[in-house]
Chain A
Amino acid sequence: MTFPGSLDDRDALRAVRLAGAEPVPLWHGDSWLAEVVAIVLPGGFSYGDYLRCGAIARFSPAMRSIIDGARGGMPVLGICNGFQVLCEAHLLPGALIRNDHRKFVCRDQRLRIENSATAWTGDYAEGQEIVVPLKNGEGAYVADHETLDALEREGRVVARYLGDNPNGSYRNIAGISNSEGNVVGLMPHPEHAVEELTGPTTDGLAFFTSILKSVVSA
């Protein structure tokens, strides 16, 4: 899915291709989702995001179709700005706010996969440690205590930061899912860790192979 200010859309297309699936570019102004079986909302600044990250993207024609699709079980992965859009669209609880140190941060980040039962994490082992790039200015995940407790109780924390918390996220949360597990939001960037040549690792590829398996078997 490409919004006017999407930046990592090409990376997401490459990751899908390397995982063995056929990537289909989608345009924010179209409400028709073509014949796609899963959707990646990429990183970037969707509509400039001068107001609040993802706040406008949720109202785009394509997002209205995606919201309907996600509620009907269509797998959706929101990365970085895509995660922000999913929160703004209320497909995921909580919000992402400015990093606690007030600076943009780009670094190779250690994560622990906390839930390998979602549509997007089946190829990981529960508790597996991975390293993928993290890059955000507004990546601190926040929610009220009840919501955080519920997310943990229901196993909906998909990934957590290891080592120093890079942005002030509550409970070191790097990614969460909806209760059905088809919608996942992730602040770090697995699509930048799919090739030895350009990524710190290839640890991110399993997000994309996972979804391929889950849609094939569905």
Chain B
Amino acid sequence: MTSPIARSADEADTTDKSAGEADTTVRSADEADTTVESENAVAGVDTVGNARRSPDRRQPYRELGLADGEYARIREILGRRPTSSELAMYSVMWSEHCSYKSSKVHLRQFAEKAPAEASQILLVGIGENAGVVDIGDGWAVTFKIESHNHPSYVEPHQGAATGVGGIVRDILTMGARPVAVMDALRFGPADAPDTARVLPGVVAGVGGYGNCLGLPNIGGEVVFDPTYLANPLVNALCVGVLRADEIKLAKAEGPGSKVVLFGARTGGDGIGGASVLASATFDDTKPSKRPAVQVGDPFAEKVLIECCLEIFAADLVTGIQDLGAAGLSCATTELAAAGSGGMAIELDLVPLRDETLVPEEILMSESQERMMAVVTPDNLPVFMGICKKWDVTATVVGEVTDSGRLTMRWHGEQIVDVPPRTLAHEGPVYHRTVARPDDQDVLNGDRGEQLRRPRTGDELRATALRLISSPNLADKSWVTDQYDRYVLGNTVLAQPEDSGMIRVTDDRWRDEHGGADATLGIALSVDGNGRYTRLDPYAGAQLALAEAYRNVATTGARPLAVTNCLNFGSPEDPGVMWQFSEAVRGLADGCQQLGIPVTGGNVSFYNQTSASAILPTPVVGVLGVIDDVARRTPIAFARDGQLLYLLGDTGEEFGGSEWAYVSHAFLGGIPPAVDLERERLLADVLINASRDGLVDAAHDLSDGGLFAALSESCLRGGAGVRLVVPDGIDPFVFLFSESAGRAIVAVPRTEEVRFTDMCTARRLPALRIGVLDILEAALEVQGQFRITLAELRRAWTATLPELFG
């Protein structure tokens, strides 16, 4: 075992040299080479001097994913050819994954269309590691969702695990204590052999890493669709809590301050992962570009978290950055670019797991569980002392300068000399061709009116059972029971509730409030619907936003801010680019209308195998706040005699529906209509009803429609329902339509008048459709069919265990 116990922090002291003190005498033989101007300076390392002297040397920039024009631009910036180390840095920093070169021109809309509310609640906006939202009482929250799709296909367990590890470090970097994680997962058909390989690995990876970090997993999604077969989507969200006045930023300020690398040693894992894995599609006809996926060590990360939080509490850093994609290249350039603009690094001081690594590999390595901090000389001894307490290796690898350049030396030889902003902020920007796909009209034109619908009670009953047992709607306990939802003791709601809810509290609060925990809470939901987005990317993105927004409000929390993970095919395909641009436009417009700003997010392109892309899948996370977590509304129907109300309008909307997919494997037509003003009204009513105690349970309506929502609420609480199909609506439409802007609520009889008066006054349609019945323990649709909860539960719970064991 490579326990950090064995990694003595004493090394921190022995390697605690400021820049310029590096011992190069051991390489005197190599130095001799440089004096004779050999190409092999310092055992073959390409120096800046070399680059000047050999301008015509052919460099493998194409293999590293750089285009001809990009390489030419690097030469122009530097006024010479790049050294191989510089080339490695530019290639990872200018990769799609790190530079957002194809998406940047579209993503600007999130800032340009930011709602007026943004200036009141955003303490840190887009561009930092994660946005920070003011939630009142001096508390702030930071949250972000990120993809780890490609690595999770190659190596499901480690790919998913390091996805969690990466997003947790992003949150930590803002100065926050991570308090919960969520995961939105998408796989190929549930019964496909490869899904049996990928899904259990991904779930064990998400669970293994999060459980070992001690972060409750409070929600997410598990979705199956054939387009995700060789392109699973693993989107991980983390949320952290901090004091509003204790935000940390990624910048290197104050010349003379030390640059400290701490955490795990650097190894050969994930080299080139950032640019190569995220840029290359899985095409069998080309040479494999699948390097090693990074391997996670959650215990090292757990220790790193506690170590960082102690360092933050003592206010010992002026800037901090985690090492994720593009590793040291990214951390050094981003810190330098955001601060006083200069940094000098002695790269040979980086502690290595594998002593044979060359500078280019060290710069590109994506070894996990590493952080970089900027620390003043005065604070350095205390900083090192805390690292030692936690047995965290910490090494001074350089210092902040006022040169405006990022320079690096390798055993005394200059191997990097670049303007850091050109890597971090001034990467290439592409206006990719956007074209509405030719088949879009055909797709939208076929509304599936010919699809056979169930008519009789028996047919409706069979359809209901088939839907509820289909993999997308079936019970996800097989997955979520592998996640710890209790740890930290602040989980108020977790899956299968509409949103995850966490009480915001800490030791300091308790000390200041007589030992009592705070009542303030945050709620989070992540949602996406690739089928809706395929039919109409603008509406599909808004429907994902609306669902997450509705889910947060259904639990009683007020939606505040948005994060997003945009999963698409190749940006070089104009049709995919159209989907992307429409989805971004829809999301930006939607956030503006709902008054909840985008705080950050992530784009994942190239999710495609050969010519076929995944369903365009924007996954949207909405954060909400609730003043008193004791007022939260659960989904469970548990009290006898309560009245069941359906809020919102039900239309005949089956485009992209679960019914069309399960019963007919059909995708066509147009998705449910979006009415964001209605969503806002519905949210207001749900939040007020929660605050005033007018409802005991509520559940949003989405995939599978009313029947799916009713089933989940009945099975969660154990009460049955006697349902009456309202006059003038077809029972099939009533039960299975996926019209948006709807929710069901269980209203105590004593509150019925107050509740209906509120809906009437606010003009929200509220239809009484049934009554809860504990003794019956069945879901009965009067005049149509009846299913006992026992039968319903068998149908709902059996699917995933039968598939995955």
Contact = CB atoms under 8 A, between A and B. Distances in A.
A198 B214 contact: no
B491 interface: yes
A4 B303 contact: yes
B222 to A, nearest CB: 15
Interface stretch (A62-70, A147-155, A189-197): A189-197
B487 interface: yes
Contacts of B484: 7, 104, 106, 135
A51 interface: yes
A45 interface: yes
Interface in B371-396: 389-391
Interface in A87-139: 103-107, 133, 135, 137
B503 A47 contact: no
B3 A10 contact: no
A198 B490 contact: yes
A105 B482 contact: yes
Contacts of B389: 29
B299 A10 contact: no
Interface in B549-585: none
A32 B518 CA distance: 32
A104 B299 contact: no
B144 to A, nearest CB: 23
Interface string B506-519: 00000000010100
A11 B487 contact: yes
B5 A7 contact: no
A45 B489 contact: no
A198 B489 contact: yes
Interface in A1-17: 4-8, 10-11, 14, 17
A198 B488 CA distance: 10
B492 A197 contact: yes
B684 to A, nearest CB: 25
A11 B489 contact: yes
Nearest to A46: B299
A133 B486 contact: yes
B617 to A, nearest CB: 27
Interface stretch (B71-79, B205-213, B596-604): B205-213
Contact of B486 (A56, A104, A105, A135): A135
Contact of A48 (B299, B482, B503): B299
A197 B628 CA distance: 11
A203 B1 CA distance: 38
Contact of A198 (B3, B208, B503): B503
Contacts of A192: 486-487, 489
Most buried by A among B483, B492, B517: B517
A54 interface: no
Interface string B282-309: 0000000000000001111011001000
A137 B489 CA distance: 19
A4 B390 contact: yes
A44 B302 CA distance: 11
Residue among B214, B389, B515, B517 facing the most chain A CB atoms (10 A cut-off): B214
Contacts of A104: 204, 207-208, 211, 482-484
B503 A56 contact: no
A99 to B, nearest CB: 11
State the majority secondary structure of interface residues on A: loop
Residue of B4, B213, B303, B486 with highest tally of chain A CB at under 10 A:
B486
A47 B482 contact: no
A47 B299 CA distance: 7
Given A7-B214, A45-B299, A197 B488 contact: no
A50 B485 contact: no
B630 interface: yes
A11 B489 CA distance: 5
Given A103-B204, A197-B630, A5 B299 contact: yes
Interface string B458-484: 000000000000000000010011111
A116 to B, nearest CB: 25
Contacts of A51: 1, 3
B488 A11 contact: yes
B483 A106 contact: yes
A37 to B, nearest CB: 19
B1 A191 contact: no
B629 interface: yes
A137 B212 CA distance: 11
B503 to A, nearest CB: 7
B489 A106 contact: no
B526 to A, nearest CB: 20
Given A56-B3, A106-B484, A197-B630, A50 B214 contact: no
A7 B299 contact: no
A192 B297 CA distance: 26
A106 B482 contact: yes
A17 B511 CA distance: 12
B212 A5 contact: yes
Contacts of B299: 4-5, 45, 47-50
Contacts of B517: 14
Q: Could you say which of A29, A44, A106, A133 has the most chain B C-beta atoms within 10 Å of its C-beta?
A: A106
Contacts of A135: 211, 484, 486-487
B3 A47 contact: yes
Contacts of B214: 6-8, 44
B182 to A, nearest CB: 15
Contacts of A103: 204, 481-482
A50 B734 CA distance: 53
B492 A4 contact: no
Given A8-B487, A104-B208, A17 B482 contact: no
B492 A106 contact: no
A98 to B, nearest CB: 13
Given A105-B482, A198-B503, A56 B5 contact: yes
Nearest to A11: B489
A199 to B, nearest CB: 8
Given A48-B3, A198-B503, A106 B306 contact: no
A195 B3 CA distance: 36
A50 B483 contact: no
A5 B503 contact: no
Interface in A175-217: 189, 191-192, 195, 197-199
A107 B480 CA distance: 9
A135 B492 CA distance: 17
Nearest to A51: B1
A120 B467 CA distance: 48
Contact of B481 (A17, A56, A106, A191): A106
Nearest to B478: A103
Given A45-B212, A107-B481, A5 B486 contact: no
Contacts of A189: 486
Contacts of A47: 3, 5, 299
Contacts of A48: 1, 3-4, 212, 297-300
A50 B298 CA distance: 10
A35 to B, nearest CB: 19
A120 B491 CA distance: 26
Contacts of A195: 489
Contacts of B300: 48
A43 B214 CA distance: 10
A37 B772 CA distance: 50
Contacts of A8: 214, 487, 489
Contacts of B515: 17
Contacts of B481: 103, 105-107
A57 to B, nearest CB: 11
26 contacts: A4-B391, A5-B299, A7-B212, A7-B213, A8-B214, A11-B486, A14-B517, A17-B515, A43-B487, A44-B214, A45-B302, A48-B300, A49-B299, A51-B1, A56-B5, A103-B481, A104-B204, A104-B484, A105-B482, A106-B481, A137-B211, A195-B489, A198-B490, A198-B491, A198-B492, A199-B486
Given A8-B487, A45-B298, 16 more contacts: A4-B303, A4-B390, A7-B302, A7-B488, A10-B489, A14-B489, A45-B302, A48-B298, A48-B300, A50-B2, A103-B204, A103-B481, A106-B480, A106-B481, A135-B487, A198-B492
